[in-house]
Structure 1
C-alpha cells in the first residue's frame, strides 16, 4: 500500500483548524510508536451478522480507563472485509456524534480530514491509531506511518468511539479493557 508523504500531517492540521504539533516527530514504524505498550484486550466487531474487524488496545502500565484521554495508547483495527476510506470516515463521524454534540462545520472538517487520510482497506489490512495527549491522533497502516490529525479534541472523541463509557459497542469496550481490572460485570 503506498505511503503518504510526511507533509500530509501539516496539511491535515491546517484542515482541522489546529496548529502543527510541537510534539516530537512521529515514529515511522508502529513498533517504535508503541514500544512501551502491551496488549490490554481484543475483540471482534460484528455488525448485522457481518464480521467487520478485530480490535486490539495497547496501553502502558498503569493505564487508567477513566482518564483514557490523558494517556498515550494505541488501538489497532484488523479489517476482515474491504472498506473505502471515505466510508470509514463517515461512520466514524456518526459514532462521534453519538458521544457528543458536534458543530456541523467541525464535523465536516473532521470527516474531510479522515477521508483525505484513511486509505481503502482490504481484508487483512491493519489501521492503527495512536492517541497522543495534547497533540492528536497519529495513524499507521500495516505498521507504516500514514499521517496524523493534529487536533486533541478530535483524538479524544475519535478514540471515545471504542473507549468511552457511552460507546455504541459496550461489550467490545469491555473486552478491550479486560486486563485493566475494575468492577466485575453483572451476569
Structure 2
C-alpha cells in the first residue's frame, strides 16, 4: 500500500467555503464594537456589532449583531427576556410565536447572529445555521434597540458595542 504524503492527502480533502452567514448576507462587514453582558456579576453573553467596513452605526444601513452565550438558557428564558425588554422600551410587538420558532435553548458557546435586511426584516442564524426570519414593520429598530438603543438596560454595554 502506498503512503500518502500530507500534501497529497490534503489535496483530496474538499476545502470548506470561506463564506459565512455574515459575509454572505452582509458583504464587507467588520466588527464595530464588542461587549460582555453580565447580570449580578455573572457573564451571560459576549456581543459583537458588525457594520459595513466597521463604520459607525447608521440605522438606515444593514448591520449585524452576534451573541455568544456563556450560560445555559432555556428557549422560554430567551423569548421572555426579549419580549420583556421590547416592552420596557415601548416596542412591544406580537412576535411571541415567531420568537419561539427562532430561539432554541442555548449552552455555553452557542451563538446567535441577527442580520438586518432593510428596516422590516431580521434574519437569524444559530451556530451558522439559518434559524428564522422576523418580518414586521420596523422590526430592525424595535429589536436591536434592546442592545443598541439609548434606553438599553446597560448604556455602558451599548456604548462599547457602538465603539464609543
RMSD: 2.0
Residue 9 of structure 1 corresponds to: none
Which of 1 and 2 has higher RCO (CA within 8 Å, sep 6+)?
1
CA contact (8 A) 1:30 1:140 kept: no
| 1:163-174 paired onto structure 2 within 5 Å | 163-174=148-159
**Deviations 1:114-154 (CA, angstroms, capped at 9, x unpaired):** 01221111110110101122331100011221110111422
CA distance in 2, matches of 1:131, 1:33: 9
Could you tell me how far 1:62 is from its partner in structure 2?
7.7
SS of 1:173's partner is: helix
TM-score under structure 2 length normalisation: 0.80
Residue 143 of structure 2 corresponds to: 158
Q: Which runs of 5+ in 1 are unaligned?
A: 1-26, 182-187
CA distance in 2, matches of 1:163, 1:101: 14
CA distance in 1, matches of 2:91, 2:82: 14
Could you tell me how far 1:50 is from its partner in structure 2?
1.1
Residue 76 of structure 1 corresponds to: 66
Matched, 1:113 2:103: no
CA distance in 2, matches of 1:144, 1:28: 10
SS of 1:93's partner is: helix
TM-score under structure 1 length normalisation: 0.71
Q: Which runs of 5+ in 2 are unaligned?
A: 1-18
**Deviations 1:59-117 (CA, angstroms, capped at 9, x unpaired):** 0138453x42x210000000001111221111011111121153xxxx3x312210122
Residue 22 of structure 2 corresponds to: 30
Larger strand fraction of residues: 2
Query: Please, which of 73, 78, 87 is the counterpart of residue 77 of structure 2?
Result: 87
| 1:94-105 paired onto structure 2 within 5 Å | 94-100=84-90, 102=92
